[in-house]
Amino acid sequence: HATLGVMGGGQLGRMFVHAAQAMGYRTAVLDPDSASPAGLVSHQHVRTAYADADGLAALIESADAITTEFENVPAVALRALAERRPVAPSGDVVAICQDRAAEKAHFVAAGVACAPYAVIETAEQLAAVPDALLPGILKTARLGYDGKGQIGVATREELIAAWALLGQVPCVLEQRLALHLELSVIVARGADGALVNFPVQQNLHRDGILAVTQVPAPDVSPALAEEAARCAGQIAAQMGYVGVLCVEFFVVRTESGLRLVANEMAPRPHNSGHYTIDACDVSQFELQVRTLTALPLVAPRLHSPCVMLNLLGDLWFDAEGRERTPCWDAVLALPGTHLHLYGKASARPGRKMGHLTLTGASLATVRATALRVCSLLGLPSDGLV
Ligand code: ATP
Ligand code: MG
Ligand code: MG
**What would the pLDDT profile of 141-192 be if each residue is shown by its tens digit?**
999 888 899 999 999 999 999 999 999 999 999 999 999 999 999 999 999 9
Same domain? For 184 and 286 the reply is yes
Cross-strand pairs, 65: 4
- The CATH number covering residue 124 comes to 3.30.1490.20
Same domain? For 181 and 290 the reply is yes
Same domain? For 294 and 327 the reply is no
The answer to the question of residue 100 being in a domain is no
HSE (CB half, 13 Å, CA atoms) of 36?
A: 28
Q: How far is the CA of 208 from the centre of ligand 1 (A)?
A: 6
Mean pLDDT, the chain, as a whole number? Answer: 97
Same domain? For 216 and 297 the reply is yes
Alpha-carbon gap, residue 164 to 181, rounded angstroms: 31
Amino acid making up residue 340: H
pLDDT at 224: 97
The answer to the question of residue 94 being in a domain is no
- The CATH number covering residue 225 comes to 3.30.470.20
The strand order across the sheet containing 3-7 reads 44-46, 26-30, 3-7, 65-68
The answer to the question of residue 102 being in a domain is no
List pocket residues of ligand 1, CB cut-off 6 Å: 115, 137, 139, 144-148, 174, 176-177, 179, 182, 205, 208, 248, 263-264
Ligand 1 atom index nearest CA of 147:
6
The answer to the question of residue 62 being in a domain is yes
Q: Which of 70, 98, 150, 312 to mutate to test the pocket of ligand 1 (most atoms within 8 A of CB)?
A: 150
Residue ranges for the binding site for ATP?
Answer: 100, 139, 144-150, 174-177, 182, 205, 263-264
Q: What is the pTM of this model?
A: 0.96
Same domain? For 196 and 160 the reply is no
Same domain? For 273 and 325 the reply is no
Domain boundary among 47, 67, 87: 87
Which residue minimizes the CA distance to atom 21 of ligand 1?
A: 208
The strand order across the sheet containing 171-175 reads 117-120, 171-175, 136-140, 150-153
Q: Range of 145's domain?
A: 116-175
Domain boundary among 302, 320, 343: 302
Is the separation of the CB atoms in 147 and 209 below 8 Å?
yes
Residues of the chain with pLDDT under 50: none
- Work out how many domains the chain is built from and give that number: 4
Same domain? For 354 and 344 the reply is yes
Residue ranges for the binding site?
Answer: 100, 139, 144-150, 174-177, 182, 205, 263-264
Same domain? For 49 and 161 the reply is no
Same domain? For 215 and 225 the reply is yes
Complex ipTM, two decimals? 0.98
The answer to the question of residue 316 being in a domain is yes
Q: Going by C-beta distance under 8 Å and a sequence separation of 6 or more, which residues neighbour residue 383?
A: 204, 211, 212, 214
Same domain? For 211 and 291 the reply is yes
The answer to the question of residue 289 being in a domain is yes
Same domain? For 27 and 124 the reply is no
Alpha-carbon gap, residue 269 to 276, rounded angstroms: 10
Same domain? For 164 and 189 the reply is no
Alpha-carbon gap, residue 202 to 87, rounded angstroms: 31
Ligand 1 atom index nearest CA of 149:
6
Domain boundary among 157, 175, 193: 175
The answer to the question of residue 105 being in a domain is no
Alpha-carbon gap, residue 357 to 360, rounded angstroms: 10
Report which of 288, 264, 262, 291 is spatially closest to residue 277, judged by C-alpha positions: 288
pLDDT at 129: 96
The answer to the question of residue 101 being in a domain is no
- The CATH number covering residue 27 comes to 3.40.50.20
DSSP state of 176: P
Which residue minimizes the CA distance to atom 26 of ligand 1?
A: 176
